[in-house]
A = this chain, B = another copy of it.
Amino acid sequence: MQQPHRAEDAAPAGPPRPGGARVLVVEDDPTVAEVVSRYLDRAGHAVDRVEDGPTALSRAAVHWPDLVVLDLMLPGMDGLEVCRRLRARAPVPVIMLTARGDEDDRILGLEVGADDYVTKPFSPRELVLRVESVLRRTRPRSDLRPLAAAGLTVDPAARRAAKDGDELALTLREFDLLAFFLRHPGRVFSRADLMREVWGWDFGDLSTVTVHVRRLRGKVEDDPARPRLIRTVWGMGYRFDPEGQAELP
């Protein structure tokens, strides 16, 4: 129940798009705040903007963020204090914005438990990358939701997977790949899509994907030579079919 005294503070921030996160940006310089918000928004995240520490705390109370981008230098309560108080409530991921070469601040920020930091002046693009990197590491509960389809169960929190009740011994990549397929059933993904979504690479040898799909099939499919779950869509990529219909004659 905070009082939005500034128009900019009242940035509504609806729900994030699928794959996106709710990000709270705490920054008193309106220019920087604007640029950062725009970039994060474009990257598919829902952005809350506030200008000082107290507002940040109250906003977080209303809408707990998946991640906080926090300027170290703030009027009144400084970034470190904000970070501490947020952390006192729950272990939210934090990325600090610090002045260049301000070694002490950097150390301090990391001591308080920032997950990453970016020095000013910074590239907004870099910030977005760091945000997504941190999100990948700290992956919020939506990605920890258990999944199940076609006799397969995947528990991302425990990193366990099973087929018809029997536990599967999957490697890291195989697990991520299977989890991704279960999250997006019935859709075709090109090898490049998978490399981007599962590996996090924008380019690379696409045969890597092929090989990992094969290894995954070897563990998941009844008959790996005739896959029914992870189908090949010729010339396009792969698709996870929960239905698993029989082959056409």
Contacts and interface: CB of A to CB of B under 8 A. Distances in A.
Interface of A: 31, 34-35, 38-39, 42-44, 103, 106-107, 110-111, 113, 115-116, 121, 123-125, 129, 133, 137-138, 157-159, 167, 169, 171-172, 186-188, 202-203, 233-236, 239, 245, 248
A80 to B, nearest CB: 14
> What is the oligomeric copy number?
2
A14 B138 CA distance: 18
A85 B171 CA distance: 52
Contact of A239 (B38, B116, B158, B172): B158
Contacts of A42: 115, 137-138
Given A107-B121, A110-B35, A172 B129 contact: no
A156 B236 CA distance: 11
11 contacts: A35-B107, A38-B113, A39-B110, A42-B138, A44-B137, A107-B121, A157-B187, A158-B186, A158-B188, A167-B248, A172-B236
A235 B172 contact: yes
Nearest to A237: B159
Q: Which of A35, A43, A186 has the most CB of B within 10 A?
A: A35
Contacts of A138: 42
A146 B167 CA distance: 31
> Which 4 A-B residue pairs are closest in the complex by CB-CB distance?
A172-B235, A159-B188, A35-B110, A158-B186
A50 B123 CA distance: 28
A43 B157 CA distance: 21
B35 A202 contact: no
Given A188-B158, A233-B159, A169 B248 contact: yes
Contacts of A39: 110
Contacts of A137: 42-44
A203 B121 contact: no
B234 A172 contact: yes
Nearest to A109: B35
Nearest to A184: B157
Contacts of A116: 125
A43 B172 CA distance: 31
Nearest to A129: B202
A121 B116 CA distance: 16
Contacts of A125: 116
